[in-house]
Amino acid sequence: MPPFYKVGEMLGSELIAKARLKLDDVTVNRYLWSDLELIDCLNKAQNELCSRGLILKDKDTAAICNVAVVAGTAEYVLDSRILFITRARLMTNKKILGFTDEENLDNRIGDSWEDESATPTSCIPDITRHKIRLYPKPILTETLNLTVYRLPATQFTEGNIGSVSTEVPSEYDIPLIDGILATAYLKNDSDTLDLISLKASLQIWEGVIEQAKRDFIRRRSIPRIIAPAKGLLV
């Protein structure tokens, strides 16, 4: 479990129930929105908040944050839930890798850098392709640990909605309801499409995301007491 924040405390089913109250959709067996439709709305809201607000920071979920490094292999596939990498560390020697790119290495070293083999000192993240490349090419088999901002580890389904809690920091639990409404009111049906309520929910939801962005900037701008390790920047 990520140690950076207090995770949400509400079950997905609790948020769906609260959303139904706001939607005035509480007549059992005659719901205007099915459970599956509102679950999709909840997933969309939580994913959007994580993607635009970068609120889930993690280095401890091995399935997402650890990369199995193989001697002689430079490029690796990243977990698709990773949005942004802030730190890369080899676990054998505890070395923090610098971030660089191919153009920088071409200019500094020439095209021979792709063939070099040694203990890696730098990495080239490519989030768009879900890849990361190590430089130089590793000579040992070990583990690369990443500190990342990511999407939720688990998406809500009809099977887990009553047992899985939200993964966003707890202060975002209730605001997620407006994210649900911002999608639910788009349902193209005479009893569900409500442009006035949609506009109000979208305005509130955008405010939530903008606050998350400001919080991210504030966290990133807090002065560090400990100086970066040498070689962090390439």
Per DSSP, which regions of the chain are E strands? Answer: 57-58, 66-69, 75-77, 82-90, 98-99, 122-126, 131-135, 142-150
| Domain map (residue ranges) of the chain | 12-55+154-220, 57-150
Confidence of residue 9 (pLDDT cuts 50, 70, 90): confident
Calpha distance 227→9 (Å, rounded): 35
pLDDT tens column, 150-182: 999 999 999 999 999 999 999 999 999 999 999
> Taking Cα atoms as reference points, which of 80, 49, 75, 48 lies closest to residue 63?
80
Calpha distance 108→11 (Å, rounded): 52
Q: Tell me the average pLDDT across 183-196.
A: 88
Phi, psi for residue 217 in degrees, rounded to 5 = -60, -40
Calpha distance 3→183 (Å, rounded): 31
Bridge-based pairing of strands 75-77 and 98-99 is: unpaired
CB atoms closer than 10 angstroms to residue 207: 12
pLDDT confidence of residue 223: 52
pLDDT tens column, 64-98: 999 999 999 999 999 999 999 999 999 998 999 99
Give me the residues paired with residue 126 across strands: 131
> Taking Cα atoms as reference points, which of 169, 182, 191 lies closest to residue 44?
182
Give Cα separations from 23 to 175, 186, 191, 222 (angstroms).
15, 12, 11, 40
pLDDT confidence of residue 227: 40
Chain mean pLDDT for the chain: 90
pLDDT tens column, 57-69: 999 999 999 999 9
